[in-house]
Structure 1
Amino acid sequence: MSEPALRPVLDAQDLAAAQEPAAAPSRSRAALLKRLADVVCLPGSRVNAFERAMTADLLIELLREAVLDERVRIARRVAAVSEIPTSLARLLLRDDLPVARTLIENSASLSDTDLIDCARTATPEHRRLVAARRGLHEAVVDALIEPGEAAVIESVLRNDLARLSHAAVETIVATTRDNPRLIPLLLRRSELRPSHAYVMFWWSDADSRRTILQRFAVSREILQEAVSDVFGMAAEEKWQDPLTRKALQFIERRQRNRAALERSPFESLEEAIVVASESMTREVAEEIAYLSGLKPMTGAKIFTDAGGEPLAILCKATGLPRTAVRSLWRGLRRPETDASGAVAPGLERVLTLFDTIAVDRAQTVLRYWNWSLSSALTPALIKAIREGDEDAVDEFSQPQRAAMLALGSDFGRR
């Protein structure tokens, strides 16, 4: 007598029923999801890594077809697990926001690679949520700000426990040009350096400029004391080393250029200022720049700046009197009084800056500008600025990148 045939797990009737649209959520699927999640969440003493991974693979297949409520429940279940399988974590992090939010906000075990994957593959809102997590490492922050989304960057800057890399700060500085509301947030960050702040100065409002000058207009006295003997060494070598010469020019106390005065049509910087008050031509502006120890490009930025604060910095750094600020203001055809006859608000703000900033600190600001805005303008950099070649930024030094940020729009108009 032959053995009876074994009944298949699913017979024809079962298959037909399975192919019909379900009238209600499957109780068996819900139970299976829960059981699989239970296994994934077992401690390491109960399930090994391979068993956990195998179970996670099955769970993932079910989650791909699960409804939103089921996916949210699973996310809540695994958020407390200390070892979430990577494939499961990434599936949930890429899911709709209610699912991903549960993991992003509540799971302490997500790795940097999980968060970076989420930042690069999910939506801006996912990135904003990740940006608010505590203790973000630099690599995660780099991935978050890469798309240049202002809302995400704002969330990063508000997160005091997120760490910014040097490259991230440069990227954010560039972003502030079109998103000025980020400037006050960036100015709060300890990662911001003077080179970043002085570039951002050019498109900052009056309040942010005041903050930049208060925080970064530092004295160079300690540098001057540390290298006082090096000036003599460099002079004995006839200033042959260009890098040494450039660094010492930044540190030295003297701001005016004596060599330029010997070639100038003016007898002094003061005389050039008097002429400028009556007729500020390009030639006069360039002479003032040379006599002040600046390159013409730096002078051009100072004289064309809409706010006017750089005029106060220039005059204070070069030892000019307060009246020189008014002379330059007049020469640039800017209003000196308002309708009531009082000093114009812009001029009053600039004069107040002149009165409050020390000479040495003004020189620090001026020399940072001169260093970052002009000394790095190589032909390749100018070409990159004109073409807006962002891909070429990494090929340049920090001063060169600063020049690209500060001068990019100016070159675009030429």
Structure 2
Amino acid sequence: MSDHRHMPEAIPPEPDASNGSRARRLLLRRLIDFVALPSTSVAPQDRSMGGDILLEMLFHASSEDREFCAQRLQLNKEAPRRLMRYLAMSDLEVARPILEANEGFDSADLANIADQTTLDHRLLIAKRKRIDPTVAEALCKREEGAVLKALVTNKGATISEAGMDFLVQHSRRIEGLPALLIKRLELIPSQAMAMFWWSDGPTRRFILQRQAADRIELVDLCSDVFAVAAEENWADPVARKTLQLIERRQRNRAAIEKSPFDSLEHAIEVAADRGLDPELAQEIGFLSGVKPVTIAKILSDPGGEGLAVLCKATGLKRDYLSHLWRSLRRPMALDDGSVHPQFAYMSETYEMLAVAKAQTTLRYWNWSLSSSFSPQGGALADPDATDSPNESRFSASRRTAHLVFGD
């Protein structure tokens, strides 16, 4: 049975003198019927020529005629692609049936259509049954909340790593997008850890539970390298920074020997008593084994989940979580004496974290935020980097620092 019998019926437009002569309207209808014929009824060369003629006539046709043509061809995979691209880039009512249902486009067609049309056209593309990585990446480049949310929630979409990079960057300014992104399997830890800083509480918890690793296999595999680096007096800066990320021990023993405080606990007790100033905050960071930029980010973060990660990773007991919270002069209780909801939420986060995963999270933050961050104007810099022109494009630490500290 011919395929065209299964196509949805399109209602032809009412005769209108402004649409041209009766001969033109009849010819337009015949050409549409011809192009819509199944592959068993017309040769590809003939269909292509018919499509070229039809396209020229559509330039002079009314909107109703174009809509009729689009409805007639919406399920036709063999229709000439130039004709279909024209219909897909036309006004929304003409483009809708084509962009919603036609499967004759390849990824280059759809990416080109996305680049040259409107937000409404891109929204239709984002809701298609199947979206390949090339088309998804084209949709990800613009900061259009409705389009991006439709794409991320589309189970038929496959998003490339580059596309996810765009989405993570946009999620900083599009409300609700981080909560949708964490459900995508394509999201990798470096992207999630960057997105953590502007996500809401439930999303942050999900990131800490799902994206953090315990590094056991990595630590075991590299265990002998620590001794070699120590013999070389940690002279190689690249090896030193890398081993700092991998190392199992969190606290900085060398900093404790030079510190005016007996321990990390002592420093936090003093901070709780007199309040936290920049020098004391930096000292707590050194004792915790993290750089000033990392401890500053954790202590200035209003959510408090970073504090929970810091305390669990460094082995601090629950009481010191309270001391650290108090040192920031944040409320512990409400006026009626009950525990403040924000402190209670942070305490729950502390309890749910495993030590190994908290250490991995803290070390990753420290590595990514500090290794490529320069306090001079927030510029990305790494004195140990090579001159490779591709480095800034591929470095996870540089990208994370740019996302967190950049504009």
Whether these two folds match at TM > 0.5 is yes
Q: Shift of the alpha carbon at 1:178? A: 1.2
Q: Is 1:266 matched with 2:289?
A: no
Give matches, 1:14-25, under 5 Å: 22=17
Residue of structure 1 in register with 2:384 after alignment? none
In the superposition, the TM-score normalised over structure 1's length comes to 0.87
Give matches, 1:378-393, under 5 Å: 378=374, 382-383=378-379
Residue of structure 2 in register with 1:408 after alignment? 406
Residue of structure 2 in register with 1:126 after alignment? 121
Cα distance in 2, alignment partners of residues 261 and 40 from structure 1: 80
Residue of structure 1 in register with 2:141 after alignment? 146
Farther-moved stretch of structure 1 (35-44 vs 250-259) = 35-44
Cα distance in 2, alignment partners of residues 244 and 381 from structure 1: 27
Aligned with 1:29 (options 24, 27, 32): 24
Residue of structure 2 in register with 1:8 after alignment? none
Cα distance in 1, alignment partners of residues 107 and 406 from structure 2: 34
Q: Is 1:336 matched with 2:332?
A: yes
Indicate if the aligned counterparts of 1:381 and 1:396 stay in contact, CA closer than 8 A. no
Q: Shift of the alpha carbon at 1:272? A: 0.9
Give matches, 1:188-337, under 5 Å: 188-278=183-273, 279-337=275-333
Q: Is 1:85 matched with 2:80?
A: yes
Q: Shift of the alpha carbon at 1:51? A: 3.1
Indicate if the aligned counterparts of 1:393 and 1:401 stay in contact, CA closer than 8 A. no
Cα distance in 2, alignment partners of residues 377 and 64 from structure 1: 55
Residue of structure 2 in register with 1:368 after alignment? 364
Aligned with 1:136 (options 128, 131, 135): 131
Farther-moved stretch of structure 1 (336-345 vs 39-48) = 39-48
Q: Deviations over 1:384-411 (max 9, x none)?
A: 79xxxxxx996572211111111125xx
**Number of residues of Structure 1 aligned to a counterpart in Structure 2:** 383
Cα distance in 2, alignment partners of residues 300 and 82 from structure 1: 57
Q: Is 1:180 matched with 2:175?
A: yes
Indicate if the aligned counterparts of 1:381 and 1:404 stay in contact, CA closer than 8 A. no
Indicate if the aligned counterparts of 2:88 and 2:95 stay in contact, CA closer than 8 A. yes
Residue of structure 1 in register with 2:110 after alignment? 115
Cα distance in 1, alignment partners of residues 19 and 254 from structure 2: 90
Q: Shift of the alpha carbon at 1:79? A: 2.4
Indicate if the aligned counterparts of 2:130 and 2:156 stay in contact, CA closer than 8 A. yes
Residue of structure 1 in register with 2:349 after alignment? 353
SS at match of 2:202: helix
Q: Deviations over 1:75-122 (max 9, x none)?
A: 122223222322101100111112111111121111112111210111
Farther-moved stretch of structure 1 (80-89 vs 293-302) = 80-89
Cα distance in 2, alignment partners of residues 140 and 382 from structure 1: 33
Q: Is 1:61 matched with 2:59?
A: no
Farther-moved stretch of structure 1 (125-134 vs 260-269) = 260-269
Task: Evaluate the alpha carbon distance shift between residue 177 and residue 393 of structure 1 in structure 2; reply closer, same or farther with a 3 A threshold.
Answer: farther
Residue of structure 1 in register with 2:8 after alignment? none
Task: Evaluate the alpha carbon distance shift between residue 384 and residue 217 of structure 1 in structure 2; reply closer, same or farther with a 3 A threshold.
Answer: closer
Residue of structure 1 in register with 2:164 after alignment? 169
Q: Shift of the alpha carbon at 1:267? A: 2.0
Residue of structure 1 in register with 2:397 after alignment? 399
Structure 2: stretches of 5+ with no match in the other structure: 1-15, 382-389
Give the aligned residue type for 1:35.
R
SS at match of 1:382: coil
Q: Deviations over 1:270-315 (max 9, x none)?
A: 1111111122110000011111110100000011010111111111
Q: Shift of the alpha carbon at 1:24? A: 6.7
Residue of structure 2 in register with 1:15 after alignment? none
Q: Shift of the alpha carbon at 1:44? A: 4.7
Task: Evaluate the alpha carbon distance shift between residue 69 and residue 266 of structure 1 in structure 2; reply closer, same or farther with a 3 A threshold.
Answer: same
Indicate if the aligned counterparts of 1:381 and 1:400 stay in contact, CA closer than 8 A. no
SS at match of 2:378: helix
Task: Evaluate the alpha carbon distance shift between residue 249 and residue 139 of structure 1 in structure 2; reply closer, same or farther with a 3 A threshold.
Answer: same
Q: Shift of the alpha carbon at 1:46? A: 5.0
Give the aligned residue type for 2:402.
M
Cα distance in 1, alignment partners of residues 134 and 66 from structure 2: 29
Q: Shift of the alpha carbon at 1:201? A: 1.0
Indicate if the aligned counterparts of 1:90 and 1:117 stay in contact, CA closer than 8 A. no
Residue of structure 1 in register with 2:47 after alignment? 52
Q: Shift of the alpha carbon at 1:134? A: 2.2
Q: Shift of the alpha carbon at 1:23? A: 5.7
Cα distance in 1, alignment partners of residues 368 and 71 from structure 2: 51
Cα distance in 2, alignment partners of residues 291 and 272 from structure 1: 9
Farther-moved stretch of structure 1 (307-316 vs 23-32) = 23-32
Indicate if the aligned counterparts of 2:372 and 2:380 stay in contact, CA closer than 8 A. no
Larger Rg, first or second structure (1 or 2):
1
In the superposition, the TM-score normalised over structure 2's length comes to 0.88
SS at match of 1:383: coil
Structure 1: stretches of 5+ with no match in the other structure: 1-20, 386-391, 410-414
SS at match of 1:102: helix
Give the aligned residue type for 1:111.
D
* RMSD over aligned Cα atoms: 2.3
